[in-house]
Amino acid sequence: MALVVLAPVSASATQPSPREQFRLDSGWRFHRGDPPGVEGRLDYDVRPEVVQSADGKDADARPDAAEKVESTRQVLKLWILPTANLLIADPARRHARPSAAPGAGDPGSDVAFVQAAFDDSNWDEVTLPHDWAIAGPFIADGPYGGMGRLPSWGVGWYRRTLDLPASAAGRQVFLDVGGAMSYATVWLNGHLVGGWPYGYNSWRVDLTPYVAFGGNNQLAIRLDNPPGSARWYPGGGLYRDVWLTLADPVHVAQWGTYVTTTDVSTRSATVNLRVDVDNAGDRDARLQVATDIFALDPHGAVSGKAIARIAPQPLDVAAGASARLQSSVRIDTPRLWGPPPNQQPHRHVAITTLTRDGTVVDRYETRFGIREVRFDPDRGIVVNGEHIPLRGVNQHHDLGALGAAFNRRAAERQLEILRGMGVNAIRLAHNPPDPQLLDLADGMGLLVIDEVFDSWERKKTPLDFHLVFPDWHEADLRAMVRRDRNHPSVVLWSVGNEVGEQYTGEEGAAIGRRLSAIAHEEDPTRPTGASMNWAKPDMPFASAFDTISLNYQGEGIRQEPEFEGTDRIRTPPQYPAFRAAFPDKVIMGSETASAASSRGVYLFPVSPQASAPIRDGRGGDSTLRQVSAYEQHAVDFGSSADKVFAALDRHPYVAGEFVWNGFDYLGEPTPYYDARSSYTGIIDLAGFPKDRYWLYQSRWRPDLPMAHLLPHWTWPGREGLVTPVHVFTSGDEAELFVNGVSQGRRKKGPYEYRLRWDQVVYQPGVLRVQAYRDGKPWADDAVQTAGAPARLELVADRTRIAGDGRDLSFLTVRVLDAAGRMVPAAHNRITFSIEGPGQIVATDNGNAADLTAFPSLERDAFSGMALAIVRGVHGQSGAVTVHARAAGLQGASITLATSPATSAPRNR
């Protein structure tokens, strides 16, 4: 199948570029498993044998030492390692490709799947990004709940042909991979080109030596995703964009520009630009390098004329070598990048042009923001002179029912929902993201902690990153920093999360210092951190980083009496101890809370405590596999939101928090490992907010008049029984009414973040609250007892989408009674159908215990709600009508408009 040529995207909005990029999203064939006779010959390395998944292992269990396994057969490691060479600083430590024996340069060349003559017509036809496991079916019994009960492990092959015209001869041809899960190996025309083990990083291989210009080229990519390789759902496949890049032999290097801004004020700022240029040709090059800087509009398009110019400067680049040029320019009255609401995320683009003998040989785009970020140990993060308390969440990389396959609109929707709650910061747990997520964060003004590793040399699962850390940590860390350092949203590099080296004293700290040094070499402007759930202030590990990032230690871990005498981590509140030991470092809660709940599920009795662990009869039900939505319960090492708020308020020098976590995610379903997804999100897997959403909103958006009641007020069979009522409000007091009868007026006390009426007796009718602030009416809320389910309601988050095969509309179904009230405990079976140029790609309901496959067009409502995700058909436009039906209920329909895609993807 020939290359499907998308319009190449110029780096400049006004001039063509000799650099061309094509997104390779279509034309792929996919197959699970190796052909017969391979039997390990294509493995990256020999791995330890895994007999059984360590499912349900405590999330904060101490990591183990690596298991040493000696290779007794040929593996591909020595052929893959050279891919990292340009990301290894010391030339003496770079890798040489084996080539001594005949054919040694191309292991696997005899395998049928890499050969052009192989007939792959019976393979699946897929479009990238592609997650091979998300369609399921779920694994109902046995282990692997930790990895989401979806079969992500195993070998997968992707094949397609590239039609490169003879006119392209003499150019460099690169394959740029946004992310491949995992242990990728690339062949072109039967030649082993290279690969990359780590599934989360972006990487490049040079196809040029193996290209046949003027004809078809057979590309084959093998992935080998290990079982027991993650504590969450990793996904499988080419799950991010893949690009083909054509460039002149003399070109800006991969991620070859670096922008910093200094002397920043509203009056002026200095933009500093460093450009690295590679010369892959056979003759020296004398260049002129010039850069124009433009402002971008809120949509990321160039706005107006250049606001600054770096005049052409000479640069000599020897054949087969690289060279660097540094320059700067002053911009008057700059439009600064900063977080809303008091600032705006203004962005700019620097377009760098390389000219050789009067001919433009490359034009390269660098997007950036002009801002000053300071880390103040007494206040936290200061952006452009404004103190920004961190109101952050942690986010895993999956997109719920869409899995690991990145989709820009799905990620944007998540960020929009989080921003509505008051989120201003994201920690990317625990791996480099798709770069488009950072583009979105840049445009929204969110602050980002960019994290690279969840493990170093010690293992958390048998086949995680520790297997390749010794060989790949430098290249992986440099790759992340180089790729992401121009994003203004990124404010800190996190080099590790709860790593086992916390336990190894000076040895572990030495690794931490090495990683910090690498990050500083690539970007000296941002500090480093590594999140600690065990290391204390007097341990060497804590001193290895520029900041103090604490997971759960700030508010204390397992301090309840029931944990006395256990061998799990037990830690009293640690903010004061770290403050005393490191008064010159910013301290933050890099993971806080880890509270759990199931949307719309309220279990009785209700705990009198503000924070308590989950047990059957105490906030949990292991038979239902649900956790109470009264929002008082947490995993054993965690705390409720209320407890965390109090800890932060008592220690105002703490920069803020990153809650575990924003959205539920696939895998790690503590405390019920026979479920599919986590319980700790503030928002469920379908994107429906849990009650906790409004608790955080009441704190993080204090000027927003709001009040939120819980639980719902439809309890047949509870008449006359005590049914506690809680209120989350940004007001300071409130009065509660049941059927117009006051239940009393209450005021928040010190370190209280909710109002509680724990002796309310249930009677059907209307539950209403009036909140006050400073004695004046502030906000109100009401819930009513619902009747029997009568009809469905179908609402779309967007009724117009692009017919580009990528854009999405998220449709919410609610089960209503005859009066239009949502029925809060409805679980009716809903059937979806669609007409027109669209596809229902997935359905969900946010129920962590629901093992219905995501592509199913039938889905039970959960707590009265369900979700359908609709995508337009690529290249088609017109009306798309979606129907939702349920037995015995009046159905619902909605019509969406799909329009042709109007813009090509931006040059990456």
Question: Which residues are designated catalytic?
Answer: 498, 591
Of 328, 329, 350, 174, which Cα lies nearest the Cα of 251? Answer: 174
- What is d(CA 555, CA 538) in angstroms, rounded to the nearest whole number? 18
Residue 16, token pair as written in the block: 């063509």
The CB-based long-range contact list for 465-470 (8 Å cut-off, 24+ gap) reads: 465/198, 466/66, 467/45, 467/47, 467/48, 467/66, 468/44, 468/45, 468/197, 468/198
| Cα distances (angstroms) measured from residue 347 to each of 75, 251, 440, 489, 499 | 46, 25, 12, 11, 35
- The amino acid at residue 493 is W
Residue 863 gets which letter from DSSP?
Answer: T
Edge-to-edge, what's the strand order for the sheet holding 707-710?
707-710, 725-729, 755-757
DSSP state letters, 651-662: -TTS-EEEEE-S
**How many other C-beta atoms can be found within 10 angstroms of the C-beta atom of residue 860?**
15
Q: Coil, strand, or helix at residue 700?
A: helix
| Cα distances (angstroms) measured from residue 446 to each of 378, 440, 594 | 22, 9, 22
Q: Are 880 and 898 in contact (CB under 8 A)?
A: yes
The string over 747-776, giving b where at least 16 C-beta atoms fall within 10 Å of a residue's C-beta and e elsewhere, is eeeeeebbbbbeebebbbeebbbbbbbeee
Q: Are 771 and 734 in contact (CB under 8 A)?
A: yes
Beta pairing, strands 124-126 & 28-32: antiparallel
Q: Which phi and psi angles does 883 have, rounded to 5°?
A: -115, 140
| Cα distances (angstroms) measured from residue 743 to each of 25, 250, 770 | 60, 76, 11
Cα-based torsion angle of the residue sequence 537, 543, 546, 548 in order, rounded to the nearest 10 degrees: -20
Q: Coil, strand, or helix at residue 682?
A: coil
The string over 482-491, giving b where at least 16 C-beta atoms fall within 10 Å of a residue's C-beta and e elsewhere, is bbbbbbbbbb
Exposed / middle / buried, residue 237 (Cβ in 10 Å: 0-12, 13-18, 19+): buried
- What is d(CA 238, CA 274) in angstroms, rounded to the nearest whole number? 32
Of 289, 277, 310, 311, which Cα lies nearest the Cα of 356? Answer: 289
CB neighbour list of residue 881: distance below 8 Å, 6 or more residues apart: 834, 835, 836, 893, 894, 895, 896
Of 219, 160, 157, which Cα lies nearest the Cα of 192? Answer: 219
Q: Distance between terminal CA atoms of the chain?
A: 25
